[in-house]
Amino acid sequence: MDAIELNAALYAKMEEELTDFANWLLKQPPEVILNHAIEYATKFDIVSIMETTDLSEEKARALLSLEEPLDAIYKDYGESSSNSLDVLVSFIEDKADELLSANQANAAVQVYPYSGEVAEREGDLEWYRQSHKLNIACKNEIEGAIARNYENNTLSDEAVHQVVAQFGLPRTAFVLVNTIREKDWDGRISHDNKAWAKRVPVYPDVDAFGQNKRLKYVVDCNAGLTDIFVNILRREYRQQEQPQQVKPSVRDKLKVQPKRNSPKISANSKGQER
C-alpha cells in the first residue's frame, strides 16, 4: 500500500471503531450514555479530522498496527490540558511519532541467536533477555497482523509490512525461521520455505528443566497462513532475505570448551537471522 491507501485504510478502521463504540453506547442505560457523551463527541471529531489528514506512509502504517488506533489517540488527547480541536491533528501525528520511536528502538536491538547458557558465559545476558523478550513480542504481533489483515480468504501484504516496521526484518525473519524449524512436520508449510529456514542456524536453547525456550516464540496460528506470511516476506524483501552462513569459527566455539572470546554477532553475520 502507498500513503494514500494506508491513510484510507486507517480512516476506515477508525470509522469502524467509532461505529462499534456507538453501537455499544446505544445499548447502555441513560446515565452511562451521558457519562460517555464527551468521549463519543471527541472520537467523532478525531475521525472527521482523520478523513482529511494526510499522514506519511510510515506514520499511517504505525497507527494501523494498533488494535484500536482511535481509542489510543483519544486517550492521549483526553489526558492533555487542551480542549481545542485545532490540536487534534498534532495528537494524531504525535501518537504516530511515539510508535515510530518505539519501533526504531526495537529494530535497533540485534537478534541474539545463541542460548541463554552461552549468553551467561560470555557476559551477554542482558542482550539475550532483551532479544528473547522482543522475539516473543514479534511472534505475538505476527499473529495479530495476520488476524487484522486476513479477509475474504486473502492475507494482505500489509500484514508483513506492519510487523517488519515494528521489529525490523532480521527479527521478523528469525522468529519465522524458528517457527518453521519447530513445525517441520507440518505439511501446510511449503518445502521451499522449510528449505529456506534450514539455511539459517538455530541453536538449542533449553532451561534448567530441559524445556525448549524457543517454543515461546513459535507463531501459533494457522500454519497455512503462516506459510503465506513467509511467502510475502520473502517476495517483498527478496534482496535482503537471503541468509548468510555463520562463520565456521563461531560454530567451532559452540562445540568445544568455551573460550573468553565472545560469540557476538558481527555486522557481516547479521544475515544469519533472516
Query: 100-126: per-residue pLDDT in tens?
Result: 999 999 999 999 999 999 999 999 999
Q: What is the DSSP letter of 257?
A: S
In this prediction, residues 64-76 reach a mean pLDDT of 91
pLDDT at 89: 85
Integer CA distances (angstroms), 96 to 55, 59, 67, 72, 100, in order: 9, 5, 14, 10, 6
Question: Whole-angstrom Cα distance, residue 177 to residue 169?
Answer: 12
Helix (H, G, I), strand (E, B) or coil at 155: strand
Strands 150-151 and 154-155 turn out to be antiparallel
pLDDT of the residue at 270? 41
Least confident of 41-55, 85-99, 103-117: 85-99
pLDDT value of position 76: 84
Q: Is the pLDDT of residue 243 over 90?
A: no
Q: Determine the Cα–Cα distance for residues 129 and 260; give it in Å rounded to an integer.
A: 20
Q: What is the pTM of this model?
A: 0.79
Share of the chain above pLDDT 90, in %: 74
Please give the pLDDT value at position 62.
Answer: 93
- How would residue 153 be classed by pLDDT, with cut points 50, 70 and 90? very high
For residues 196 and 184, the answer to whether their CB atoms sit within 8 Å is no
| Cα Rg of the chain, angstroms | 22
Segment 121-147 shows an average pLDDT of 97
Mean pLDDT of the chain: 86
**Is the pLDDT score of 81 beyond 60?**
no
Per-residue confidence at 80, pLDDT binned at 50, 70, 90?
Answer: low
Residue 251 has pLDDT above 90, yes or no: no
Instruction: Show the cell assigned to 137.
Output: 513480542
What does the alpha-carbon distance between residue 115 and residue 124 come to, in Å, rounded to a whole number? 10
pLDDT at 192: 97
154-211 tens-digit pLDDT: 999 999 999 999 999 999 999 999 999 999 999 999 999 999 999 988 999 999 899 9
